Structure 1
Amino acid sequence: MTVVIPEFDYQRVAVADDVTLNVAVGGTGSPIVLLHGFPQTHVMWRHVAVDLAGDHTVIVPDLRGYGASDKPEAVDRATYAKRTMAADVVALAGALGHERFALAGHDRGALVAIRAGLDHPTRISHLASLDVLPTLDMWDVLHGSTAAVAFHLYLMAQPPGLPEEMISASADAFFGYFLDLWVRDPQAIAADVRAEYLRASREAVASIVADYRASADIDIEHDRVDRAAGNRLTMPVTVVQQDWGAALGFDAAALWRTWADDLTHRTTSAGHFMAEEAPDEIIMVLRSMLTR
């Protein structure tokens, strides 16, 4: 780990029998946990975290399987289920002394945050999701030639073996492709940060693929059970997305309203890596959420 969040303290926290997370903690005040996306680490929150630490306790982990956190072998379908990863986050906050906390996630981290909100509603005071749809809806809206934008979802959904071999053979090209394609301002991800993302991802191919494979399998099952039972996100929810609906032909806000009782939904002109491209906007959005 060569890039860190300035003035944050780093520690390792055990969250399960076989998993310890790398976590940066800074600030004082009401707690908020920030979860990173793909193909990144906790460092993606570096601008936002420093600002929020002015009046909040900010907890920024690497998810299991990513960055400097442990990467257990996927011994069964549940190892990288978002339910398991959400339990990690709740255990992490509890170990740091916070029984109730706000939670914001980007990309993969947002899927973990959504599952935490559904599974642990009394623990999550506010929830923010950056640039994803809930898993069940994500798969439902992908169809026809437009699904080509999500080719990596289908690749990593395949049985163990081939995806890991293909990605490992060209890891920097694979992960770098998304860092280049999904950013609108190339200057937003500095060379040292990009190198850190590539190094961390190169060392985590098996666990990253297992995370994605779970989202094409057990995570869908969990979402279907919740939808059938009418389970919803009961805390204030803020969603920030690129305007996918215009491109792919669906109403993202309407999909989110089927999950969230108290929803604020907005689109952004920033690219996918919005916490790095437009940190002032994301800071404003999160601060506004925390007052609801």
Structure 2
Amino acid sequence: MKKLMCLLFLVALIGHSNTVYSQEFRLNTGGYFENKGVNVMAYDDIYPEGHQGGISLIMHGKRLATNGDIRLESTPGQWQPVPKQRDRQVNEDKNTLTVHLSYPDSSRHLTGFNPMIYPDMVFNYTVTVKGEGPSVVITVDLDRPIPEKFLGKVGFNLELFPGALFGKPWIMDDKAGIFPRQPNGPTRSEPSNFPYRGDFNPGGKASVRQLAGEGGYSPIIADDIVCEPYAVGKRLVVCPDDPYSRFTIESKGSELKLYDGRMNHNNGWFVVRSEIPAGKTTAAIRWVITPNVVEDWLYAPVVQISQVGYHPVQPQDSCY
């Protein structure tokens, strides 16, 4: 009887451990965090100018947020500088991803298909992403403080896909609103990074004057007029009424700001941003992202059609 009780206790303990484990964000064999129907990807796809890269959040089959990374503008577009990713380390034992990045990416300064103009600022930084129970914690460490003339220009951004959020509510601390279908003012003017352009690639052949529009509109200067944030606070809840899309971002440091990037760019997204504080290097940014997980969610089946075509002797009803 005593052996049976011990066995039952052991089975119950194992069952409890599996239950707790299943409610956590854990690194899977694909190198990203998974908790049932919610995935958090980190720096395993790199195309930030196309809204693809950095930290990404996929909830119950929908990509709701992406491009979580350090950026040099509040609402950057495809012409604005992006970091250079240097190393990505996966530690399954500690349930963490560590990524080393830097500004500038000299190979893209005034050159390439999509030439960019990097400001005269050099720094390295590390983004650590850790699964902690039902949350994913993001910590950013810098190797040096941000220069005074760039304070307020350097921050950690996360872009939210507008098409999934039109008309949906948000809550920032004690303020609430909806994600509008069209961008609305007011706007504000602020100093641009453009006058501080660096000299990182002597072989770059792109024309600064041409990129700057020679006095006309220039998409490469996107930080001189920006929309005022819809809200500022410490805790943002996106889609509080939708269990399949609800997630919370909580900042443990500088405030969160919710912007509408479509004010600057016709392909812009909503942006959540925290600015790097003056003199801060260790844990300059610390966010806790907690997505809602629907326990019994299953991906809906999809009927696929072969894009390659069918072999002449292959029955079409047997191709999946």
User: Which of the five TM-score ranges fits, normalised by the shorter chain?
Assistant: under 0.3
In the superposition, the TM-score normalised over structure 1's length comes to: 0.25
More helix by share: 1
> Larger Cα Rg: Structure 1 or Structure 2?
2
In the superposition, the TM-score normalised over structure 2's length comes to: 0.24
More strand by share: 2
